[in-house]
Amino acid sequence: MTMPLMRPKRKNPVLRTRQINLPPSARGRVALGITAAAAEGRFELQVCGECSTVQYPPRSACQKCLSAALRWKPQTGHGELLSATTLHHSNDLFFRERLPWRLGLVELDAGPTVMVHLHGEVGDAPQRVRVGARLDRAGQAVLIGFPDEGTANMADDKMLREMASDPKFRKVLVTDGKTPVGQAMVRALVKAGADIVWVGHAEPWKKLGGLDDITALPQVSLVALDVTNGRSVTELAGEIGGKVDIVINTAELHRTFGIGSRRGTDVAKAEMEINYFGLLRLAQEFGPALKGRSADGATHATAWVNLLSVYALANFPPQGTFSASKAAAYSLSQCLRAEMRPAGIRVVNVFPGPIDDEWNQHMPPPKLAPEALASAIVKALRDGVEDVYPGDVAQEWLERWRDNPKILERELAINGG
């Protein structure tokens, strides 16, 4: 039984803000296959294409038949905890600051024995457990031994919280609250127990539907934020930058033009101004503040979420300039991820397919409901996932893109855009 996380006391301003130490992040290239799967929330191990042996740690050859045909395949993670220990000493600063720390050896039903971090609800060996993969604060996959059946507050486990970015009791900035997605996001965060949700509002004179509803929530406060305006971003960062634990960048401009369907570059520039430069401005102003507070108590700064689009992977010609702006934002977010990593701040990229909003009026279903997108983002924060492809369309695009990006490009070009 995990004790529910209590609201942390207000920080004593006299005390020094703790700085982050990361767990060991060195991994070989082969072992990064586990990280690649964990980044999307899956636990995968190497399986031999010839003899089906499941092996761990990852290798360059099958240890049974020496085949080089090794594939990463999802695992159920069911297994038996053979032994456990509680560390009272560690050679690494990250763990030293978090002792005591529990580990276990689990014999997976699939074959190999794996070393895991143990969830607090897992009792003494021997017993059944379920192993999953999570990204740790260094952004590298680690295996975790979960109880076979968890209780209600299991996400509040001290070790597990180190691997996740749960919004509970955290202070969140949603950069644009005017859109259906922004508003669904705010409501989902309040439901998830966020302490404060600041909601960006670019043009306060515009009265848009729904804004009054979310403003009425006690956790929510509207803040002036125009991501196309450097001064506006700077001013807000000066005001709340030192308090924000999670930034969720929902600001986007979405128009539906290709190259030939609209003359000039005004719309394309406006899209870039918000979708790409907006992210750049936010990252420059809020990024350093988040990095400085990434070990500041139980509800330290923890994550940065970018609302991208699955069109960032491959251009969708009917929305060609929008796709290009999202591709630019995706590329920049990879830079942001690299720069945030030394501080242990997770950058979560969200790649939805068409959202069920006014700008996708002409898109046939299935379309992603804003509420579904918002809850997918909250789930990603709770599960410590860093790449999210919510909904059926996004999943299908991803599968086609993974299979062969060139084929996908040709399929998308088939109707001349």
Partner 1 sequence: MARRNYEGVAVAVPITVPYLRYTTEGAHWFLGRAVRSLVDSSGIAKEDIDGLCVSSFSLAPDTAVGVTQHLGLSPRWLDHVPTGGASGVMCLRRAARAVQAGDAEVVACVAADTNHVDSFRQTLGGFSYFSRDASYPYGSGGPNSIFAMITAHYMRRFGARREDFGRIAVSQRQNALLNPNAMFKRPLTLDEYIGARPIADPLHLFDCVMPCAGAEAFLVMSESRARDLGLSHVLIHGAIERHNAFSSDPIMVRGGWRQDRDDLYAQAGVRPDALDFIQTYDDYPVIVMMHFEDLGFCEKGEGPAFVQAHTLTHDGTFPNNTSGGQLSAGQAGAAGGFLGVTESIRQLTGAAGGRSVPDAKLGLVAGFGMVTYDRCLCTGAVILGRSE
Q: Which residues bind partner 1 (CB under 8 A)?
A: 23-28, 30-31, 56-58, 63, 82-92, 94-95, 101, 103-105, 107, 113-117, 125-126, 136, 138, 140, 142
Number of separate helices (H) and strands (E) present in the chain: 12, 15
User: Could you tell me which residues come within 8 angstroms of residue 348 by beta carbon, excluding any fewer than 6 positions away?
Assistant: 165, 303, 304, 305, 306, 377, 380, 381, 385, 386, 387, 388
Question: In angstroms, what is the minimal distance from the CB of 32 to partner 1?
Answer: 9
Q: Indicate the residue among 105 and 253 with the shorter CB distance to partner 1.
A: 105
Tell me how far apart the alpha carbons of residues 64 and 74 are, in angstroms, rounded to a whole number.
20
Question: In angstroms, what is the minimal distance from the CB of 18 to partner 1?
Answer: 19
Check the CA dihedral 79-148-126-105 and report its sign. positive
Question: In angstroms, what is the minimal distance from the CB of 26 to partner 1?
Answer: 5
Tell me how far apart the alpha carbons of residues 93 and 21 are, in angstroms, rounded to a whole number.
6
Tell me how far apart the alpha carbons of residues 325 and 308 are, in angstroms, rounded to a whole number.
9
Q: Indicate the residue among 32 and 223 with the shorter CB distance to partner 1.
A: 32
- CA trace torsion 222, 228, 230, 233 (10° rounding): 20
Name which of 395, 381, 284, 379 is nearest 340 in CA terms.
284
Question: In angstroms, what is the minimal distance from the CB of 142 to partner 1?
Answer: 6
Question: In angstroms, what is the minimal distance from the CB of 24 to partner 1?
Answer: 5
Question: In angstroms, what is the minimal distance from the CB of 287 to partner 1?
Answer: 26
Q: Indicate the residue among 125 and 332 with the shorter CB distance to partner 1.
A: 125
Tokens of 266: 């005004």
User: Could you tell me which residues come within 8 angstroms of residue 214 by beta carbon, excluding any fewer than 6 positions away?
Assistant: 177, 183, 186, 187, 199, 220
Q: Indicate the residue among 98 and 255 with the shorter CB distance to partner 1.
A: 98
